[in-house]
Chain A
Amino acid sequence: MLTLECPYCGVMADETELTAGGEAHLKRFGPGSSDEDFEAYLFERENPKGVHFERWRHSHGCGKWFHAARNTMTLEVYGTYPAQTSEPPVEIRNKISGIAPGWSWRLFK
């Protein structure tokens, strides 16, 4: 059972205080998008053994959504950050590169 730091409250939150929200940084495709783009947006998800970016909500706490960069194998948490961004912050990507050189996830390396 994980503990993740809520970047809004600044507390280490127990997994039972949180709600998992699937993959982070999805790009929304709306009306006018192609069938392929829309299908990918709705259904295609990463399922990596290793570095992953996820959405979590501090549902029993401040109610805010945040993102977590973590390793699905070792459960190491590289960092958490607010959800108002469309890509992982540079400092988190650099940190991951220091720990897991050569990682890649979707468009990010």
Chain B
Amino acid sequence: MSVRLSTGGRLIDRATEISFSFNGARLKGYAGDTLASALLGSDQMLVGRSFKYHRPRGIVASGAEEPNALVNMGEGARFEPNQRATTTELFAGLSATSQNHWPSLEFDVGALNAKLSRFLPAGFYYKMFIHPRSFWKHVYEPFIRQSAGLGRAPDSEDADSYEHFHLHTDVVVVGGGIAGLLAARAAAVTGAKVLLMEQTAHWGGRAPVDGGLVDGQPVGDYIDALVRELSEMPNVTLRLRCMASGVYDHGYLLGYERVRDHQPGAPGPRHRLWRVRAKQIVTATGAIERPLSFAGNDVPGVMLASAVRDYLVNYAVSAGKRVIVATNNDDGYRTAIALKQAGQEVLRILDARETGGGALMAEARRLGIRIDCGRAIGKVSGGKRVKKVQICAYAGAGGALEEVACDAVAMSGGWSPVVHLWSHCGGKLTWDAEQAYFRPDATRAPTGADGQPYVVPAGSANGVMMLDAICGDAVEAGRAAAKAAGYKLKKAAAIEAEPAPETPIEPVWMMPRDARVQLRMKAWLDYQNDVKVSDVQLAAREGYESVEHTKRYTTLGMATDQGKLSNINGLATLADALGAEIPAVGTTTFRPPYTPISMGAIGGEARGAVFQPLRRTAMHGWHEKNGADWEPVGHWRRPYAFARSGESVHDAVMREVKNTRENVGLLDASTLGKILVKGPDAGKFLDLLYTNMMSSLKPGKCRYGLMCNENGFLVDDGVVARIDDETFLCHTTTGGADRIHAHMEEWLQTEWWDMQVYAANLTEQYAQVAVVGPKARMLLEKLGGMDVSAETFPFMTWQDGTLGGFDVRAYRISFSGELSYEIAVPTAQGLAFWEALVAAGKEFGIMPYGTEALHIMRAEKGFIMIGDETDGTIIPQDLGLNWAISKKKEDFLGKRAQERAHMTDPNRWKLVGLETLDGAVLPDGAYAVAEGVNPNGQRNTQGRVTSTYYSPTLCKGIAMGLVLKGPERMGEVIEFPGTDGTVFKARIVDPVFYDKDGEKQNV
């Protein structure tokens, strides 16, 4: 059983007891504990179930590499699944539950899978779910969905906030162990700006646990002094609880700071994503110990030797009272020694090496620990916790020599440098055969914008494992980074650390070496996804030679821990099965993030009111108060209709159309683009941009124009007003303002840069109101100021003047077919002007109208709408707009494209009006069917609906559509199948349904 010892624990504060709950049970820990240390301290060895076989699982590791101890944290709005107990700091009231079992952790029905494990080998999914095909939909897919996923999704809105933080610095040092701290100081003393990130809540990393002397001091004291020194340097920023999650192009690095995870509910963001641009990045990310692959290595109580040591030294928690240590290297002895010194019983050290280790072995022996060399674990027994171990010869098939009862096993398979960040952006690795690990290949570093390396590995992340060498390597790394960032180096004093020679590791990829198949089937590689030695061997037998393919076939390393623990074991097993060298098999690709980061951190501030920008006109607040039903148009919100109390939106739209046609309506047209184009070449420029002639427009006049792209397709339309000889004001669609302004700038800057033209986007400078309807003139006359009579202010002209005391620019243009003035006032007076119109218009029955009424009125008039009649494949000729395409101009954007064979094809669908025979409204987007079927067996089509409305003016459905040879087929009836089996019959008619001669707008 795991226990809390009565003394020791360098990170816990025994004066502060903390109570928490696990699966409803109330447990106690201390301030400074992680959830994992507190659970172990309470003898909670079973913490979860594996994904596939639902095997009982306990804590294996003490850090980010933990595959098993994933728990649901919190409740309600602070619930989050898959939180690693080993990296979760304990806080008062913490409530955690275990995952992946039903009905309970202790008794789990899903554990039946383990009994069937013989039938669920690697690739089971691919083999099983193929036949019979008919089973997929109703049997296999529901089954897979039921068992897929780890933890459960939160069901309420996250109560916390998140944010980003951008910064630029010279050097980022990742990892706050001895190497990171020394590298940071070495860089900082040159004057470089340094940011040091440490993922845990403590400085120092492993060194204080493993011990040693640096410059004559115990390494723990040396680190404390180093941290104090760094915190006083103005050019150094120290950040705990901040993990570097990824290294990206051009020195971009993401840091994931867990600001409030240990203080839930405190003000401030829960997580902060650091978006860093660094000139140089030092990766002092340490190393991770590898498990040994023996049968039963997943039984709760079997742990990494380093983790056993961490829990003991940092938290005074012993993994067991009677422990067996299995190792293939000297470091494992440290755990045995620490346990012994803490008064725990170490039953055996099983060293796979025939001749054992060096100085550490001698010390263990001196302490009276029994050491068996050339021995290995054959099998660990026990269900929910370790009960006994069968000991065998390492060089054998696993025949038991002895059986020893114990309650914990510490295993050490050697160390793997954490090369993730080095590798994220292209850093290559080299296999160190002597030490049996991949380490960064300094000659193939990731390179930045200047083509030079920008990542420097340091310490054990660089494959340097001994304390004295780590110190030297870290200082060199820090200096190299500072130099590459442009700082001058001074001589640095050498750091003296106690050298501790060790005897070389003997690589052990399977224990015992020739384990028989029954053992291999119980020797776990990937704990979370339940991948065993036998699965990888099966994959190799079935022809999976590439490590990337084997990964996907077996799911090795695909769990949330991404194979941190034992990917090397897995690929060594694959190499062995293939008879290949390990470096020839290679590694899978390391991709960010290093450990999972929250979606909240990625989203940052972008949620709720600031999820995305919402653009508001000056009258937005008025619309809101007056019942606007909103329609998003780009980032704008435009009123769709103004529903009165008790009125449906549809009824409101009908009323608004009717009132505008009979009395007077007001439309907030502020969102329409207004781009000022000025210069001696402005006319020439606009002639190239619009399909029709703009240079011939007289000052004071307005002209409707079309814009196409170089592909010939219609991209925007609007009214151009000529202000003076050199100046034009181009109106664009609401969604087109920024796009068309950018389009103009692009052509001016990149193709016609010799033209003397400037453009300015004045869209937001003006609030614009369309005053529309037969009584519009009466209303404006009542406001008084400028002469708005037909004689002095005719259709398609504009004038500056005043109305009701407001300085205005008024345009006599119409998108509704009614008498209409569009009036622009400075935005700062937009609301006041709108309110003045509403007040003055009362006697004329004035009502605001929204975009839907606007759409119906324009459709009644047969006016096209960009985005309805056009979809990026429509040329003006398709819409019967040939009148707006100049024949005289030599060139305009789109002219050449419109001469291409496909564009002049007489069979292109053309715009017509459509009228259902029974007055019903055609479904939007419906296709007209033609005789026969296409090669896919679908009905042939001959047209489609582009706009369709119920017209309150005509009291029937009206529509526009594109139809094969449409304009030649007036009067013909074509069929539009609906989605529900009904068929709409519609007659092809002229698209202008209302006031064909335009008498109403031109009065």
Contacts and interface: CB of A to CB of B under 8 A. Distances in A.
Q: Are A and B in direct contact (Cβ within 8 Å)?
A: yes
A63 B751 CA distance: 16
Interface residues of B, number: 28
A3 B448 CA distance: 10
Interface string A1-38: 11100000000101000000100000011111101001
Interface string B870-899: 000000000000000000001100011101
Nearest to B745: A63
B711 interface: yes
A14 to B, nearest CB: 7
A96 B248 CA distance: 24
A4 B753 CA distance: 23
Contacts of A38: 896-897, 900
B900 A35 contact: yes
Contact of A76 (B451, B711, B896): B451
B277 A55 contact: no
B896 A31 contact: yes
A99 interface: yes
A86 to B, nearest CB: 10
Contact of A3 (B277, B451, B750): B277
A75 B250 contact: yes
Contacts of B746: 21, 57, 65
A93 interface: no
Contact of A30 (B250, B447, B745, B895): B895
A28 B688 CA distance: 13
B451 A14 contact: no
B224 to A, nearest CB: 37
Contacts of A29: 896
A42 B750 CA distance: 16
Nearest to B752: A28
Given A38-B900, A57-B742, A65-B749, A31 B895 contact: yes
Contact of A84 (B450, B749, B897, B899): B749
A34 B504 CA distance: 73
Nearest to B753: A84
Nearest to A27: B751
A46 B958 CA distance: 47
A57 B166 CA distance: 22
A83 interface: yes
B449 A77 contact: yes
B252 interface: yes
A104 B896 CA distance: 30
Contact of B710 (A35, A42, A59, A99): A42
Contacts of A84: 749-750, 753
Contacts of A32: 896
B742 A3 contact: no
Given A2-B249, A3-B277, A74 B750 contact: no
Interface string B798-822: 0000000000000000000000000
Interface centre among A29, A42, A99 (most CB of B within 10 A): A42
Interface in B557-572: none
B877 to A, nearest CB: 16
Nearest to A76: B451
Contact of A31 (B249, B252, B449, B899): B899
Nearest to A14: B277
Nearest to A84: B753
Contacts of A12: 277
B250 A1 contact: yes
Nearest to B426: A74
Interface in A77-91: 77, 83-84
A84 B896 CA distance: 24
Interface in A43-75: 55, 57, 59, 63-65, 71, 74-75
Nearest to A67: B750
B750 A31 contact: no
A2 B449 contact: yes
Nearest to B277: A3
B194 to A, nearest CB: 20
A33 B900 CA distance: 11
Point out which of B250, B746, B750, B753 has the most chain A C-beta atoms below 10 A from its C-beta.
Answer: B750
A29 B449 CA distance: 34
Interface in B881-925: 890-891, 895-897, 899-900
A21 B710 CA distance: 15
A74 B248 contact: no
Contacts of B895: 30-31
Interface string B724-759: 000000000000000000100110011101000000
A55 B891 CA distance: 24
A55 B750 contact: yes
Contacts of B745: 63, 65
A83 B750 contact: yes
Contacts of A65: 745-746, 749-750
Contacts of A75: 249-250, 447-449
A2 B451 contact: no
Nearest to B889: A31
Contacts of B251: 3
Nearest to A85: B753
Contacts of A76: 447-451
Contacts of A33: 896
A57 B710 CA distance: 19
Nearest to A70: B449
B230 to A, nearest CB: 28
Nearest to A21: B746
B891 A30 contact: yes
A61 to B, nearest CB: 13
Interface string B309-327: 0000000000000000000
Nearest to A5: B449
Contacts of A3: 250-252, 277, 449
A3 B746 CA distance: 21
24 contacts: A1-B252, A2-B249, A3-B250, A3-B252, A12-B277, A21-B746, A28-B751, A29-B896, A30-B891, A31-B896, A32-B896, A38-B900, A42-B711, A42-B897, A55-B750, A63-B745, A65-B746, A65-B749, A65-B750, A75-B250, A76-B448, A77-B449, A83-B753, A99-B451
Given A3-B251, A74-B447, A84-B753, 20 more contacts: A1-B249, A3-B250, A12-B277, A14-B277, A21-B746, A28-B710, A29-B896, A30-B896, A31-B899, A42-B897, A57-B742, A65-B745, A65-B749, A71-B451, A75-B448, A76-B449, A77-B450, A83-B750, A84-B750, A99-B451
Interface of B: 166, 248-252, 277, 447-451, 710-711, 742, 745-746, 749-751, 753, 890-891, 895-897, 899-900
Interface of A: 1-3, 12, 14, 21, 28-33, 35, 38, 41-42, 55, 57, 59, 63-65, 71, 74-77, 83-84, 99
9 residue pairs, one from A and one from B, having the closest CB atoms: A76-B451, A84-B753, A77-B449, A83-B750, A65-B749, A31-B896, A3-B250, A1-B252, A30-B891
